[in-house]
């Protein structure tokens, strides 16, 4: 921790000196403690299960430099639960990590190369997102080539390796060995159109010796391809997206899966917004053994979708029966206050069992936020799941037990220095 702070201070002083001419330097921070009450989050609570209460915190120090052709970003991050370290800390070597560390150079005004550790956030973040709700968030190590003229085209290439360079094996901790994506986007008056292609390669063992020693390793590739179209006019909007997944899954089974989402939005009153949508993620039925039909949204901000209690696709529900989500969202915004309410009706996409109903449950999410000043915000929320009996088959626990979650969060984003 001390070395990181010394390095950060040196970088701050250096960039402060050079930022005088045609360059901008900003040093900012983020402090985000969040308290949560949980009884049945991600999976159904059991009859005798006690509720949990904990407080987590994200702390960040952000460096941003912008020159004529060069941009750099550095984000130092500490994420912890209160009480996870003793009061008299003797070793903080692993308490702070680098969440982002990238540079971007513009070869031409429309063409740039960005390399390092960075967030990826595209379209509605269903496939590639920053996962900002999670205290640790998500970042990738990759090379990103960006062309942004009348048509925006981004090409990302990532390749992972462990510290043992005597072989080409990758044993984690991340989800892929290699990944490439191509994103194209065009805006035309009221119409926005995007096309995404993702080639995801995960490591799979080919030969394992005595004692589980890995002798040979291969890569299993899957491909995700699909468009997103968003039309807005006056107080009405319509968004449609669809993706197909093919190739092989992590166990090298053949993969054939589909995703679709259709959402209508409207603002009937000046401060009121409404959304009605239906999302479908294909799944694999209980008696299907020859092919995997389960769609995976991979590296998206999945907490944003399918209810805030995270029963689906937030580190879970992969290679399962899929999901149908019929949802209604209402938002009301004032000058410094916003209120939001959502209802989700969940059904499985494929059969859980021969005699099981597809209805999984209904979730209600309520949240509000207050902007107390330019650097300080307060938000809170409450969610409750009314589970169906089939959710027991999927998650375990008991459907008729109270399943609820409440949270309150303070967000402070001060700017310590800016050369602007």
Please write down the HEC assignment for all residues of 253-268.
CEEEEEEEEEEEEEEE
Nearest-Å Rg of the Cα atoms of the chain is 23
What is the spatial distance between Cα 58 and Cα 260, in angstroms, rounded to a whole number? Answer: 34
pLDDT of residue 92: 60
Two tokens, residue 22? 């045609």
* HSE value, Cβ hemisphere, 13 Å, CA-based, for 212: 0
Two tokens, residue 409? 């969060």
Peptide bond between residue 173 and the one before it cis (omega within 30 degrees of 0): yes
pLDDT of residue 163: 78
pLDDT of residue 1: 45
**Blockwise average pLDDT, block size 10, the chain, 420 residues:** 53 51 88 97 94 96 95 95 83 76 96 97 97 95 96 96 80 89 96 97 85 82 98 94 96 94 94 97 92 96 96 94 98 94 98 94 98 95 97 94 97 92
pLDDT of residue 224: 98
pLDDT of residue 132: 94
Write the CA distances from 249 to 161, 203, 245, 294, integer angstroms.
20, 10, 10, 10
The structure's pTM equals 0.91
- The SS3 of residue 2 is helix
Write the CA distances from 335 to 139, 315, 370, 378, integer angstroms.
33, 36, 9, 14
Across 255-285, b (16+ Cβ under 10 Å) vs e yields bebbbbbebebeeeeeeebebebebbbbbbb
pLDDT of residue 113: 97
The answer to whether the beta carbons of residues 296 and 317 sit under 8 Å apart is: no
What is the spatial distance between Cα 376 and Cα 413, in angstroms, rounded to a whole number? Answer: 7
pLDDT of residue 19: 47
Domains identified in the chain and CATH numbers: 2-418 (2.40.160.100)
What is the spatial distance between Cα 73 and Cα 58, in angstroms, rounded to a whole number? Answer: 18
Beta strand spans in 160-253 (E):
178-188, 191-208, 214-233, 236-248
What is the spatial distance between Cα 410 and Cα 30, in angstroms, rounded to a whole number? Answer: 10
What is the spatial distance between Cα 162 and Cα 121, in angstroms, rounded to a whole number? Answer: 26
């Amino acid at each position: 921790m001390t070395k990181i702070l010394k390095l950060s201070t040196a970088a701050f002083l250096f960039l402060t000196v050079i930022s005088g001419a045609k360059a901008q330097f900003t040093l900012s921070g983020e402090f985000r403690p969040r308290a949560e009450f949980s009884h049945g989050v991600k999976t159904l609570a059991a009859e005798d299960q006690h509720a949990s209460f904990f407080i987590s915190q994200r702390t960040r120090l952000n460096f941003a430099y912008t020159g004529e052709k060069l941009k750099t970003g550095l984000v130092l991050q500490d994420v912890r639960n209160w009480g996870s370290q003793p009061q008299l800390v003797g070793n903080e070597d692993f308490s702070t990590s680098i969440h982002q560390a990238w540079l971007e150079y513009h070869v031409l005004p429309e063409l740039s190369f960005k390399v390092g550790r960075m967030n990826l956030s595209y379209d509605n973040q269903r496939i590639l997102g920053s996962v900002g709700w999670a205290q640790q968030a998500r970042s990738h190590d990759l090379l990103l080539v960006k062309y942004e003229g009348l048509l925006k085209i981004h090409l990302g290439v990532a390749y992972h390796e462990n510290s043992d360079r005597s072989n080409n094996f990758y044993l984690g901790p991340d989800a892929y060995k290699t990944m490439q994506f191509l994103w194209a986007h065009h805006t035309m008056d009221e119409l926005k159109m995007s096309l995404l292609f993702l080639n995801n390669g995960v490591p799979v063992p080919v030969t394992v010796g005595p004692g589980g020693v890995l002798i040979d390793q291969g890569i299993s590739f899957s491909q995700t391809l699909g468009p997103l179209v968003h039309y807005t006019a006056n107080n009405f909007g319509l968004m449609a997206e669809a993706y197909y997944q093919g190739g092989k899954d992590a166990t090298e089974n053949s993969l054939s899966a589909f995703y679709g989402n259709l959402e209508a939005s409207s603002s009937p009153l000046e401060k009121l917004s409404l959304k009605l949508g239906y999302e479908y993620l294909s799944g694999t039925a209980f008696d299907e053994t020859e092919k995997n039909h389960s769609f995976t949204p991979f590296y998206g901000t999945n907490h944003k979708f399918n209810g805030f209690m995270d029963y689906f696709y937030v580190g879970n529900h992969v290679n399962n029966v899929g999901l149908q989500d019929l949802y209604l969202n209402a938002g009301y915004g004032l000058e410094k206050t916003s209120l939001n309410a959502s209802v989700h009706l969940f059904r499985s996409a494929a059969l859980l069992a021969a005699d099981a109903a597809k209805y999984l449950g209904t979730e209600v999410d309520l949240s509000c936020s207050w902007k107390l000043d330019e650097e300080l915000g307060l938000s809170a929320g409450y969610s409750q799941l009314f589970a169906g009996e089939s959710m027991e088959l999927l998650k375990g626990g008991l459907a008729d037990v109270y399943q609820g979650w409440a949270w309150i969060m303070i967000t402070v984003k001060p700017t310590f220095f800016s050369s602007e």
